[in-house]
Amino acid sequence: MASRTLHPASRQAAHLAHAGLRLYVHVPFCEHKCHYCDFNSHVRRQINWQNWLQGILRDWQGHHIPPKHIDSIFIGGGTPSLMPVDILEALLHAIHDRCRLAPQAEITMEANPGSADAGRFAAYRQCGINRLSIGVQSLQSDELRWLERIHDPQQALQAFTMARDAGFENINLDLMYGLPAQPLHRWLQSLHQACELQPEHLSCYQLTVEPGTRLASMHASNPDMQWPDDDQAIMFFRQTRRVLAEHGFIAYEISNYTRNNRYCRHNDGYWLYDDYIGLGPGAAGKYDLADGGVIRWWNIRSPETYARQLALEGHGVAGEERMSKEEAASEAFWLGLRRNHGINHQRFCQRFSPALLQRQQQACRRWQQQGMLAINQQQTCITPQGWLMADSIAASVFD
Amino acid sequence: MFLSARLAVTLPRAMTDQHSPPIQQYIRNFSIIAHIDHGKSTLADRLIEVTEAVSERQMKKQLLDSMDLEQERGITIKAQTASLRYPAADGHTYTLNLIDTPGHVDFTYEVSRSLHACEGALLIVDATQGVEAQTLANVYLALEQDLEIIPVINKIDLPSADVAEARRQIEEVIGLDADDAIAVSAKTGEGIAEVLEAIVQRIPAPTARDDAPLRALIVDSWFDSYVGAVALLRIFDGVLRQRDKIRLMSSKLSYEVNDLGVFLPQAQSLPALPSGQVGFMVCGIKQLSALRVGDTVTLERQPASSPLPGFREPRAMVFAGLYPVDSADYAELRDALEKLNLNDPAFTFEPESSMALGLGFRCGFLGMLHMEIVQERLEREYNLDLITTAPSVVYRVHMTDGTMKEISNPSEFPEPQNIARIEEPVVIANIFMPEEFVGTMMKLCQDRRGVQQDMKFIGQGRVMLSYQLPLAEMVIDFYDRLKSVSRGYASMDYELSGFRDEHVVKMDVLVHGEAVDALSLIVHRSIAETRGRELVKKLRQLIPRQQFDVPLQAAIGGRILARETVKAVRKNVTAKCYGGDITRKRKLLEKQKAGKKRMKSIGSVEVPQEAFLAVLKLGEGN
């Protein structure tokens, strides 16, 4: 962990090994903070969008992005779909002005299924957003209420239709399972219904109790909440995979599924160890360094403190860490294991070295013996039996 | 080491004549006895300061408690002494030999030797606390030695001091005449002059027997890295001189005196120590075990016909296995034990190997505190990470063939069919506490198989309970429990009272079908089920889930008493890993990994250190 924050300008020396760069823009605002949420989102009575945009642009200025093309943009949150269209337009204009977007660049925006948000989908599409990720979570009204979501199933279905009508050909739905006392069949109902909409992409997460959330205190004070035990969680996981396979979805990552090869290129970039820049409160970034190591940094989470520091010091960085080539190799290895194709040996050896590849493989050899890891000529990847132990397998690289 | 610092003050040594041998009638030998924290060390400091034996500059706070550990615990482990020059009111200058005593029940024998070297004792009672368990235990020891006891009521400067009540308790609980008790504040110095006068006037002078064959009692001994073993002696008969050839009557070893003298409290060499005097002797001995506390020193050329009475071999009462957490540290542990043993010959150790813990040592201690001290010194002074197995006591196992075996290690426990009967050691414990805790205290004692002997109301809402308790029940966290059920208000002292026939058995713990020797314990049959259930339950919480189900069983012989299962981990996967905050996710994984490094593998099961300590924490749920 870095003890002192570097001014981002001093990172100019950072050597960008890969051609492409990914851009993450964080919108830290929500209308309501759900009890389970540990993302960097804040409820503000009034959002000064101009200030937010100025912050993003100033943050970016500090990074001195070299004239490289950008492969993907991801506008996440919070609730980005609260954003007025003119602000989005200005943001995307600014991005176009400053760098070259790859011709097929993936530009994703996260959206809430509420009617006000959905009303802006068409305009978002016009601005250049070409992928929409809708936070549906569930298609059961009681579950949505328990999750404190402010939409109902009807609105969720409508939002999808409106997105399609707006011309979105690449849509993701976020769904959540493993709620307390949730019977499997109700989850599968949501899942089936979502499949019938034929989205290109589905993210299915198990609900987890994150420390510091309201849910965590509810959990602590109420031991009677019927959380799924391991066996149930395993059943949810397996059934999800089975049902989605039947609908033609491929699980290309632990929680992510796609039809027709429309995987999320932006998120895949994290697992492929691509460089990315995070703009906005709480956003994180990563560059490759000339010595083969990497630098990671993360911004201040509070929107106000972030803005203040940006104004005073020209950057919003809260902390950073540098890793050696060896450490980076471990990290790249376990991140790669999250993908169904795992680690591509040729790519890994180009970025690091055959010796470092061997070292990582050696560290998780016992998982191979148990049939949870497959190593062939081209790649190292977790097998279907291994998915449920992915964290344990990943942790072996720290041996 | 602290001791070398003390001796080094006098090196090179100059013989001084101004400290000419005192005539016996101007010598007073005394100890200070007290309950922990009643102010023994402060009073000693004050006496030394007032007699100007040390300048204030030299004086560290609580001079006599010189070891770090002692200062932290506030108790004196190693007895030390000082010869104070005191010009009394009668115009004569007296030599007051203060002989410090260890302050804990584990060192009762050492205390008794220290007291044996005295003619009198100051008995301190805290004016805010009254008589406590150790006050009583120490008074009995002093009375056994026929000492003149001067009651001293301390801490009268505190607002909560109640001198009259302290006097009443001295009379009623201890049975001493408290009319002459001196009220003092060791902190402010009030009453100290009276104490010094009382020592001169009330404590008898030692009897002069300079012309008898030498008999000197080894009151204490310790190891100094410069001069070797040092003995603190009380000369009863004869005179000991520099260069004398001496003989130790019980070990039959002979040496030549390299140096002798007194502590002021710095070491001061003298040409001779006359009868009645207390001082040190150095013979260039490398092994501290040669100078055993309680042994008698005599002269080669004119030996005494019989030794002084009361010598006893130090006897280990509590046994436990000590293992390095990292098995690579075994050699280091052995070196550390050897070095520590030079300083503290009272503990014993021999190599032992455990299937679960690898190579280690079976160690014997005088008691629980002694065990803790040794363990702490090993960890602190030698920087070792240790696993300590559950302590056990010495059982007398009578075999069907008529022989008797002393067993302290569960792994040596004979097959049940060969055992005729078993005796276990019992103690008499005196527990002092405020009235309101009597109920919970009685329950605690009963749960520990105690038999009530006595109950006394001692005034001010305080009660003394006497219980006969099996030592085995005391060695496992009894003292902690006693403190916790009384919110720290209870005090306790105990002494070994013998053996009684009991139905004890060896209980094994099986982890994944394998008996783990380090978890075996000897337990009374009547509570075996309860203990077994508790133990496996506790272990289930402590042993992390593995990739397979791990059954945990408690068993006597082939009979399973209790069973729990550590369910297999079948799922360990984080759903969310996006948004780019990789650092946080990596830290979580690293943490998972770091936890594993501190574990011992038993077969294919990873067991954390705490699991081996679970045995120590049994009975907490009571």
pLDDT tens, per residue, chain A with 399 residues = 333 344 443 444 344 444 578 999 999 999 999 999 999 999 999 999 999 999 999 998 887 666 668 999 999 999 999 999 999 999 999 998 888 888 899 999 999 998 788 899 999 999 999 999 999 999 999 999 999 999 999 999 999 999 999 999 999 999 999 999 999 999 999 999 999 999 999 999 999 998 889 999 999 888 888 999 888 999 999 999 999 999 999 999 999 999 999 999 999 999 999 999 999 999 999 989 889 999 999 999 999 999 999 999 989 999 999 999 999 999 999 999 999 999 999 999 999 999 999 999 999 998 999 899 999 999 999 998 899 999 889 888 886
pTM above 0.95, yes or no: no
A321 contacts B576? CB cut-off 8 A: no
Q: Minimal Cα–Cα distance from B583 to chain A, Å?
A: 8
Chain A partners within 8 Å of B547 (Cβ): 370, 389, 392
Q: In this complex, is the C-beta atom of B402 within 8 Å of any C-beta atom belonging to chain A?
A: no
A331 contacts B582? CB cut-off 8 A: yes
**B545, B547, B577, B606: best to mutate for the A interface, most A CBs within 10 A:** B577
Per residue in B234-264, pLDDT (tens digit) is 999 999 999 999 999 988 899 999 999 888 7
Q: In this complex, is the C-beta atom of A298 within 8 Å of any C-beta atom belonging to chain B?
A: yes
Q: In this complex, is the C-beta atom of A389 within 8 Å of any C-beta atom belonging to chain B?
A: yes
Where would I find the H helices in chain A? 49-61, 85-98, 115-118, 121-127, 141-146, 153-165, 184-196, 214-221, 230-246, 265-271, 303-313, 325-336, 345-351, 354-363, 365-369, 390-395
Please name the residue of chain B whose CA is at the shortest distance from the CA of residue A270: B580
Phi and psi, residue B458, nearest 5°: -110, 15
A39 contacts B580? CB cut-off 8 A: no
Residues whose CB is less than 8 angstroms from the CB of residue A62 and which lie 6 or more positions away in sequence, other chains included:
A7, A8, A9, A314, A315
Per residue in B82-132, pLDDT (tens digit) is 888 899 999 899 999 998 887 666 777 778 888 899 999 999 999 998 888
Q: Minimal Cα–Cα distance from B543 to chain A, Å?
A: 17
pLDDT value of residue A323: 93
- Collapsed DSSP state (helix, strand, coil) of residue B555: strand
Chain B partners within 8 Å of A275 (Cβ): none
Per residue in A202-254, pLDDT (tens digit) is 999 999 998 889 999 999 888 888 999 888 999 999 999 999 999 999 999 99
Per residue in A290-300, pLDDT (tens digit) is 899 999 999 99
- CA of residue B19 relative to chain centroid, distance: 35
Pick B586's closest partner by Cβ from A76, A285, A331: A331
Residue A158's closest CA among A191, A185, A136? A136
Mean pLDDT score of chain B: 83
Pick A391's closest partner by Cβ from B570, B582, B589: B589
B572 contacts A331? CB cut-off 8 A: no
What's the CA gap between B120 and B150, in Å, rounded? 8
pLDDT value of residue B579: 62
Under 8 Å between Cβ of B602 and B512:
yes
Task: Retrieve residue A281's tokens.
Answer: 């409160």
B558 prior amide bond cis, ω within 30: no
ipTM score here? 0.83
